[in-house]
Amino acid sequence: MNDESSSPTSPASAEELAALRDVIRKFGRETIRPQIFALEETGEFPRELYQELGALGAFGCIFPEDQGGSNMGFEALALVAEELAYAYPPISAAMNLQAATVPLTIKNWGRPDQVDKYVPGLIAGQVLGSNAMTEPDGGTDLLGAMRTTAVKDGDDYIINGSKMWITNANVADVVIVFCKTDTSAKHKGVSAFLVDTKTPGFEASRVKCRVLGSLMPTNSLTFTDMRVPADRMLGNEGEGFKVAMNAMDFGRLVVASRSLGLARACLDASVEYADLRTAFGEKIGSFQMIKHQIADMTAEVAAATELVYKAARMFDSGTVATREAAIAKYFAGEVCNRAAQATTEIFGGYAFSDELPISIYLNYAKLWQTGEGSANLQRILIADDALGWKPMDRHRKATANA
């Protein structure tokens, strides 16, 4: 079984990274953006876009070639996530589920036959993945809120319980489910399972979230006497919290990159609009208050870029980057929120038109502050680490993998 300390990736050259950025940016501009409103109208899951992105190599950056990846590394992963969020935020949800958290958790903690069965399909965008940690009683206090149990029965575990807010679970083929295998233990009472969504007892029900549009479906899950073979456990019994924390590192880097991409989208939209829209006979960009907003966005996007790519490069070098990923996630999330708010103000009434994506920008900026550990939680982690009370890497060995 693999563990967390497998060898670091071979990072791509600056030229290769620039070429990848060009490809994804072009796909965003020419393929994603022109169809977003039509896709939102139908409400259907954008399965074809996932497959096209898989075929372009968008999901394989941190996987070796023999698994269908490009082995370009975490910097490449971050820039793809950034560009997809720039193109249209809901589509970039794919980056955790198809390109990082789900396939990497399987690669790091699954058996070789599970890696062969799922990883190539996930990064090709053909197999859809989902990650189920949060429960109805809460996501921040993951351990305290976890009621889902897995009880050993012969060669199987029987899982009962429920999950909440699980992205893409209604369309997924495979879901990583975190359960309590020992309700009296804390961290060591959690185990992770790779669950086929066709398993009897698995049920996903869509949670309607009008403000997020229709392209990133989120679900409540119910498990009723769901029998899962013991060999579907990821890691050993009691290692689930470690599996979850390891997944969070990569997840946070991806969310930070998405926030950065969305902040850039806000900045570019604001600059374009401020140069076009006039009031009192002048371009609104000539008013000092609008200039301040554009200047702040520009400076903050530049700072967030440094933090995101610093964390990505640390992952590429095989260094534990739990702290840097949390800082990048927190800071890029704040920057993105301020940018989305300023953009909403700069667009005035048009920010609320369904013909522009600005109101979606605001909602996704807020969502990404919450997901993969809320802004408050990141602050707690960062402060406890700074105070020396709880070093952030205490649950990790080296986190770079591929």
Ligand X SMILES: Cc1cc2nc3c(=O)[nH]c(=O)nc-3n(C[C@H](O)[C@H](O)[C@H](O)COP(=O)(O)OP(=O)(O)OC[C@H]3O[C@@H](n4cnc5c(N)ncnc54)[C@H](O)[C@@H]3O)c2cc1C
- Where in the sequence numbering do the catalytic residues fall? 372
Give the largest Cα separation in the chain, rounded.
Answer: 78
* Residue, CB closest to ligand X: 139
Measured from the CB atom, the residue of 84 and 377 that comes closer to ligand X is: 377
Residues between 86 and 125 with contacts to ligand X, criterion CB under 6 A: none
In whole angstroms, give the CA distance from residue 295 to residue 147: 47
Q: Which stretch binds ligand X (CB under 6 A): 28-36, 38-46, 135-143, 335-343?
A: 135-143
Q: Which of 18, 41, 42, 138 binds ligand X (CB under 6 A)?
A: 138
Q: Which of 70, 170, 191, 218 binds ligand X (CB under 6 A)?
A: 218
Measured from the CB atom, the residue of 379 and 397 that comes closer to ligand X is: 379
In the complex, what is the shortest distance from the CB of residue 159 to ligand X, in angstroms, rounded to a whole number? 15
Residues between 362 and 391 with contacts to ligand X, criterion CB under 6 A: 367, 370-371, 374, 376-377, 380
Measured from the CB atom, the residue of 289 and 387 that comes closer to ligand X is: 387
Q: Which of 132, 262, 266, 365 binds ligand X (CB under 6 A)?
A: 132
128 touching ligand X, by CB under 6 A? no
In the complex, what is the shortest distance from the CB of residue 9 to ligand X, in angstroms, rounded to a whole number? 25
In the complex, what is the shortest distance from the CB of residue 268 to ligand X, in angstroms, rounded to a whole number? 25
Measured from the CB atom, the residue of 17 and 166 that comes closer to ligand X is: 166
In the complex, what is the shortest distance from the CB of residue 96 to ligand X, in angstroms, rounded to a whole number? 8
Residues between 144 and 203 with contacts to ligand X, criterion CB under 6 A: 165-167
Measured from the CB atom, the residue of 218 and 359 that comes closer to ligand X is: 218
Measured from the CB atom, the residue of 223 and 347 that comes closer to ligand X is: 223
Q: By CB neighbour count within 10 A (0-12 exposed, 13-18 middle, 19+ buried), where does 119 fall?
A: buried
71 touching ligand X, by CB under 6 A? no
307 touching ligand X, by CB under 6 A? no
The single residue listed with the structure tokens 């029900």 is 205
244 touching ligand X, by CB under 6 A? no
Q: Residues in the site for ligand X, rule: CB under 6 A?
A: 131-134, 138-140, 165-167, 209, 212, 218, 367, 370-371, 374, 376-377, 380
